Amino acid sequence: MNLTERLLQALARRGATEVFGIPGDFALPLFREIERSKRLPLYTLSHEPAVGFAADAASRIRGGLGVAAVTYGAGAFNLVNVVAGAYAERVPLVVLSGAPAAHEAASGYLLHHQVKTLDSQWRVFEELTADRARLDDMRQAPQLIARVLDTALRESLPVYLEIPRDMPGRPCDEVPDTPPPPIDTQALAACADELLARLRRAERPMLMVGVEVRRYALEDRVAELARRLGVPVVTSFMGRGLLAGNGTALRGTYLGLAGDVELAADVEGSDGLLLLGVIVSDTNFAVSAKRIDLRFAIQALGGRVVMGHHVYPDLPLAALIDALLERVPAPPARTAHAAATPAPREAPPIDTTPVVPADIADAVNRLLRRHGPMPIACDVGDCLFTAMDMDPTALIAPGYYATMGYAVPAALGLQAATGQRPIVLVGDGAFQMTGWELGNALRHGWDPIVLVFNNASWEMLRAFEPEGHFNDRGTWDFAAMAAGMGGDGHLVRTRAELEAALARAHATRGRFQLLDIRLAPGARSPTLERFVNAVRRLSMPG
């Protein structure tokens, strides 16, 4: 086998199920071999950021590696923002970049796509990735590939492989499966024992789950641990959608002052808060009414466990969960914790009233209750806050890094990786960035349902700067544009039109469905309003 076939074989063994890419001259030999091998399907999109978002989403929704293939310079630099987001949100994204051949590098000429030096791209990605390698020596390539890919999985972070264009077809030995690093079993036992002792001493223990629980495919095991511990369970803001399909009695999602008052008080008042895979970021904790004192919390993230002044390094989250399960017996079913969930909001009548974001949440909830769960790919802004009022279901969104333009290409990656039809929640500003990738959906057999929050504005930014005309976007007729991209468009202004359009969209398969939902200026979700008010209150001096 050649280098490309060995690389694809190694990627597949580590959970990759496809490659997303955009070719360029330095990457043409790599793309030729990917297509020829048929080892993994190759999906081409229209712009590199979308390629990265699709690969990122594929990894988030199914676990394992996401793969983005691009050319040198002009292609790879277009991925920088995406890889930065994957690093911030702990996604094992693999970047495959073409590169000049050795004889080209030694020619003495400046090469097209070159910036400062031929290694400028390498140095940029050095800042954004957990590991990287240049595959220019077939004797070392198998070990380098194994090391880099296994680092991505072990640390749940992006990595970078640079492939000179004279290398993809070279014969190459098989990529080994490297054993995981050894775990200090004594440290693991001491950590598990101390953790459980702290929970037993706590009067108000609580479990919060975050993104690493899904990154390491631990949802079922964490759900079982929660049942055995018998403590209330919440998700972080970034972890919304976790444990949605396995019967866990979730209290809800912690949003601080922007969310449920009683839930927030319980989280902030817990004297035994166990944070499993929760990124300690401003989006997860900054709008707390009472700042959580992390000295008294138990944090398991990034391969280490922190309890006050005690730090247990090099303990993978999966090993910790298994150690806890070994120590906590399964209780009789009748004693398992069964926390009450908040009563659903009473939905207003479906009539000719103009749509507001809360109506979108109500309509999606009715659809999911009628037809069953559907995964959601969500952008940032009020669409993400509106998603907090939707019934728990699988959800992917850049909730911490908060880059715009994620949702549409993420939905394409989600459907490619799982075969599930997604719902897309996206604002008009973010749609203007990457929504045109829907033009690739028909060619690849994808048919997402896209809900565009069209308020002719960057509305979340306007909430903080209401006088700024720089937030104006103008009204774009997205519904009319859908047919030209191979889908169906539906113009929505009222609750009744929303209900009818969503029903038609769900019933229509084979073409993407775009609901252009016109929202009045200033129409915001209740959660966004609470969030804005909380941020203003907390930012006031004194």
Gap between the Cα atoms of 347 and 369, Å rounded: 14
pLDDT tens sequence across 239-295: 898 888 777 888 899 988 888 889 989 999 999 999 999 998 877 776 675 677 777
Residue 456 has a pLDDT of 76
Gap between the Cα atoms of 459 and 453, Å rounded: 10
Q: Are 312 and 190 in contact (CB under 8 A)?
A: yes
DSSP designation for 24? -
pTM equals 0.92
Gap between the Cα atoms of 514 and 484, Å rounded: 12
Residue 255 has a pLDDT of 87
Of 68, 85, 75, 65, nearest to 128 by C-alpha is: 85
Q: Give the contacts of 90 (CB within 8 A, at least 6 positions apart).
A: 156, 157, 211, 212, 215, 279, 302
Gap between the Cα atoms of 359 and 491, Å rounded: 15
Q: Are 72 and 97 in contact (CB under 8 A)?
A: yes
Residue 106 has a pLDDT of 64
Q: Phi, psi at residue 498, to the nearest 5°? A: -65, -45
- Name the stretches of the chain with pLDDT < 50: 334-342
Residue 51 has a pLDDT of 98
Q: Are 310 and 263 in contact (CB under 8 A)?
A: no
Q: Are 518 and 454 in contact (CB under 8 A)?
A: yes
Residue 340 has a pLDDT of 42
Q: Are 514 and 438 in contact (CB under 8 A)?
A: yes
Q: How many CA atoms lie within 13 A of 372 on its CB side?
A: 3
Residue 526 has a pLDDT of 86
Element (H, E) at 180: none
Task: List % helix, strand, coil for the chain (3-state, nearest 5).
Answer: 45, 15, 40
* 155, two tokens: 């640390």
